[in-house]
Chain A
Amino acid sequence: MIPPGYFFILSVVLFSLGIIAFFLKRDLITQFMAIEIMLNAANLAFLALAGSSNFLDAQVIVFFIITVAAAEAAIGLAIVLLIFRKKKTIKTETLNSMKG
């Protein structure tokens, strides 16, 4: 059987890689992908804990998290598209004004 610790280590590594990707990348879409990686790492840790305590409700909660992530991705990508139409770029360093 797999010790839950292994899953935690993997989840921590994935989360840190997500953070590193977020800071290394310079366009909105890939940074958004980095956020999705972090979200998934958190889900993995949640399910690992739930698996070791045999807590069935956790799966329902992770199901809700995934659904909300889908809604969030739809809105986020719409906003990215809107920014691209207005500014003709999605490089984060050129997006430095607060007002449209």
Chain B
Amino acid sequence: MAILLFFLFAALAVGSVLGMIISRNQAYSALFLVLAFACLGGLYGLLGAPFMAVVQIIIYAGAIMVLFIFVIMMINLGEGISPEKKKWTIAAAVFMGLILLAEIVFAIKGAPAVPMIGQEMAGTSPIEIGRLLFTKYLYPFEITSILIIAALVGAVVLVKKRDGE
């Protein structure tokens, strides 16, 4: 059952990333990406990390992609920009991607074998993550909140229309 779900999510994720590459319209690209991130959320669930699955769907597929879609609407390019037309750039991009793929596959093959995912880690409860977050990782957690505020203020200041513009 789990393996079937894995292949379903994996195929959907790869397929929607391919769709994002193929589609010319930026809004469609963004929607394909929402699907891909939701599938990744499902994969996190299969890995026994239900909390991360929910965070992935709420923050990535929800908040970040909504931000992307807002900016796409504000920029409003109409029918969008056609993908790369020059043949050699397409060839170079695919070539580089495939070389990287081969490289990482070889690196993984050389790595020591990783044990199978055991039954016991199926479902780490959010309680333990919360406990870790507020004890061992309390300072990083607080620093992250400052980072978020800084990013928010920075975004507002960057985009704000100045007088006389």
Contacts and interface: CB of A to CB of B under 8 A. Distances in A.
A binds B: yes
Interface of A: 1-10, 12-27, 29-30, 32-33, 36-37, 40, 43-44, 47-54, 56-57, 59-60, 62-64, 66-75, 77-82, 84, 90-91
Nearest to A10: B10
Interface string B15-54: 0011011000010011001001100100110111101100
Given A29-B75, A75-B154, A4 B51 contact: no
B124 A56 contact: yes
Which interface residue of A18, A43, A59, A70 has the most chain B CB atoms within 10 A? A59
Interface string B138-163: 00110010011011101100110000
A32 B60 CA distance: 14
Given A36-B33, A51-B48, A81-B75, A14 B68 contact: no
B8 interface: no
A63 B55 contact: yes
11 contacts: A3-B116, A9-B108, A25-B21, A26-B84, A29-B68, A36-B60, A53-B115, A59-B52, A73-B64, A74-B67, A74-B155
Contacts of A70: 59, 63-64, 148, 151
Chain B: interface secondary structure?
Answer: helix
- Taking residues whose C-beta sits less than 8 angstroms from the other chain, chain B's interface range is 35 or more
A75 B150 CA distance: 10
A63 B133 contact: yes
B39 to A, nearest CB: 10
Given A10-B10, A66-B59, A71 B148 contact: yes
Contacts of A50: 47, 49
Nearest to A54: B121
B17 A18 contact: yes
